[in-house]
Amino acid sequence: MYLAGKKYSVLKSETSKEIVCPKCKTNNSTKVLIIGIYKHLIQIPFLSGGKIGESICNHCNETYKINNMPVNIKLAYYELKETVKTPIWFYTGLIVVKTLVLVKIFSKYF
C-alpha cells in the first residue's frame, strides 16, 4: 500500500452501436470506457488527475488505449466523455482540508 499515488475509477462505460470492431469486424460489441484518474493521499482521494479512455471488444477482447485507438472509437469516446463530469469525491481530501482551514479561521473570531 502506498501513502500517495494515482488511482483509477471507471466513471462511465457504454457499448456503442455504431462501432464495428477493427479486429473481428463485429458490430455493437465495442465498449468504450471513461476512466477517471485521481491522486490520493493515504487512500483519500485528493485531486483529479484527468480522464483517460479505453475501449474493449466483448467479442474478441481487443482493447485500445486512447493513444492507439482507431478514429471511429475515438469519436465515440469523445462523445461519451462530454457527458461525464468529474465526481466531487475525487476532491474529498481537498474539501476536508479547506473546511478545516475555514473552521480554524472562524474559530479565532467566535
Q: Could you tell me the three cell numbers for 55?
A: 475501449
Strand order in the sheet with 30-41: 4-15, 30-41, 44-57, 63-65
Cα radius of gyration (the chain)? 19
Q: Could you tell me the three cell numbers for 90?
A: 475525487
Query: 61 CB contacts (<8 Å, ≥6 apart)?
Result: none
Query: For Zn ion, which residue of 7, 59, 74, 81 counts as binding (CB under 5 A)?
Result: 59
Binding to Zn ion by residue 42, rule CB under 5 A? no
Choices 12-20, 61-69, 74-82, 95-103 (CB under 5 A): range interacting with Zn ion: 61-69
- C-alpha to C-alpha distance for 4 and 22, rounded to whole angstroms: 38
**Number of residues in contact with Zn ion under rule CB under 5 A:** 7
Choices 1-9, 14-22, 71-79, 94-102 (CB under 5 A): range interacting with Zn ion: 14-22
Binding to Zn ion by residue 24, rule CB under 5 A? yes
Q: Which of 2, 28, 26 has the alpha carbon at shortest distance from 15?
A: 28
Q: Which is nearer to Zn ion, 6 or 25 (CB)?
A: 25
Q: Which is nearer to Zn ion, 29 or 80 (CB)?
A: 29
Binding to Zn ion by residue 51, rule CB under 5 A? no
Residues near Zn ion (CB under 5 A) = 21, 23-24, 57, 59-60, 62
